[in-house]
Amino acid sequence: MPIKTEDPQALEKLDAKLKKLTELQETMKEINLILRNPKTTKEEKIRLATQKYSLKSETVEKLMNPQYSFEKPGFQQWQLSNNNQEINRLKKRIASIAAYQTEAKAIEEAGELPEFSFEGGKIVDNIPANRLQIFFDGKPDAEVRNKLKMRGFRWAPSCGAWQSYRHQYVFDWAKREFKAGEAQ
């Protein structure tokens, strides 16, 4: 299940996931060192990998005998690269969620959401809900509704607004499209 930005435990969940992937990266490297060491025998490699890393002997056998002739024994380079890329992605996601939570806390303490008025309505940057909301004075015409739908907005009867997840490009588009002014 994906970890949502507005989830209060998002940072803890992502930190746990990052820790698990970092440990996996180190384990894969260490197993590769064992399996690619030319000085140890096959039996020693199996024994070391099964004892130290709790791997099954069948798994170690598979790692020692790759499917293709051009592959080296152990975890392949693409597996290490993919895992490392996921680690880097998670680090960036943790930083962005930390920034979001700081911003949301500041807005909640201030008690006022940023609003941008335009002729016929207003745009509200609802940071605590992680939504960009557009309130119209009346029902917008079909062309405007189609443009909103194409940009990821959906009608939310619960709050009486067209809303989308907060993204800078959607926010910029809405301000340009409706010629919205600064916060009022």
* Residues 119 and 101 grouped into a single domain: no
User: What's residue 150's pLDDT?
Assistant: 94
Section 162-182 average pLDDT: 88
User: What's residue 60's pLDDT?
Assistant: 85
With 0-12 / 13-18 / 19 or more C-beta atoms within 10 angstroms meaning exposed / middle / buried, residue 82 is: exposed
Pairwise CA distance, residues 86 & 173, whole Å: 30
User: What's residue 182's pLDDT?
Assistant: 58
For 67-79, b/e burial (b = at least 16 CB within 10 A) is eeeeeebbbbeee
12, 4, 13: which is closest to 131 by C-alpha?
Answer: 4
Section 3-23 average pLDDT: 92
With respect to residue 1, please indicate whether it lies within any of the assigned structural domains.
no
Between residues 179 and 91, the one the model is more confident about: 91
pLDDT in tens, 65-109: 888 888 888 999 999 999 999 999 999 999 999 998 888 888 888
With respect to residue 63, please indicate whether it lies within any of the assigned structural domains.
yes
* Residues 135 and 95 grouped into a single domain: no
pLDDT in tens, 29-43: 999 999 999 898 888
Contacts of 161 (CB under 8 A, 6+ apart): 124, 133, 134, 135, 155
User: Per the structure, how many domains does the chain have?
Assistant: 2
Range of the domain at 30: 10-109
Res. 5: pLDDT tops 80: yes
* Residues 82 and 123 grouped into a single domain: no
With respect to residue 183, please indicate whether it lies within any of the assigned structural domains.
no
**Highest-pLDDT range among 62-66, 102-106, 112-116, 137-141:** 137-141
Structure tokens at 176: 């340009």
* Residues 99 and 128 grouped into a single domain: no
User: What's residue 153's pLDDT?
Assistant: 95
- Please give the model's pTM, rounded to 2 decimal places: 0.73
